Amino acid sequence: MAGQPFKRSIDSVAEIYRFSEDIMAAADIHESVRFPVHLAIEELFVNLVTYNPGAERDILIEVEVANGGVAVTITDHDAAEFDVTKDRSVDTGASLRERKPGGLGLHLIQHMVDTLEYDYRGGRSKIRFSKELETRDV
């Protein structure tokens, strides 16, 4: 597993992409896995930054590759409790007039990753998700 701390800023998104892309490219992870992994990392990181901007410590991202799949752990030591595994569905059948911009991040993650876990203890938020390679994608 490789891990790296990232500054609590939206501007860290490009650096996070390079970090996780380098690991997945080196392990020859299929694009059908890489895309949702990048999406889930960005959405979860941006959520932590957006809803807890006053915290000071960096956010740790760890990426592990095995058997064509990827597992990611994101740890924030200064987090407010926010359970990302709760149902965050958006009414995607609503009309254009009814739709409101925003709120799609967790909805997408919950559709696109295979496992999603949340653990909160004493101000430490740990989010872990995984994406496996589906044989039909190869």
Partner 1 sequence: MFEIDYAESGEIICSGRLDAAQSAKAEAFLGRLDASRTLDFERLEYISSAGLAILLKTQKRLSESGAALKIINVNKHIYDIFRYSGFNAIFEIDTL
Which stretches of the chain bind partner 1, using CB under 8 A?
Answer: 10-11, 13-14, 17, 31-32, 35, 38-39, 42-43, 46, 90-97, 99, 101-105, 107-108, 111-112
**From the CB of 121, what's the least distance to partner 1, in Å?**
27
Between CA 71 and CA 4, with CA 114 as vertex, the angle to 5 degrees is 20
Please say whether the beta carbons of 39 and 50 come within 8 A: no
Please say whether the beta carbons of 85 and 117 come within 8 A: yes
Nearer residue to partner 1 within complex by CB, 1 or 10:
10
Nearer residue to partner 1 within complex by CB, 121 or 135:
135
Instruction: Provide the β-strand partners of residue 64.
Output: 71
**From the CB of 2, what's the least distance to partner 1, in Å?**
21
**From the CB of 122, what's the least distance to partner 1, in Å?**
28
| Of 79, 77, 100, residue with least CA distance to 90 | 100
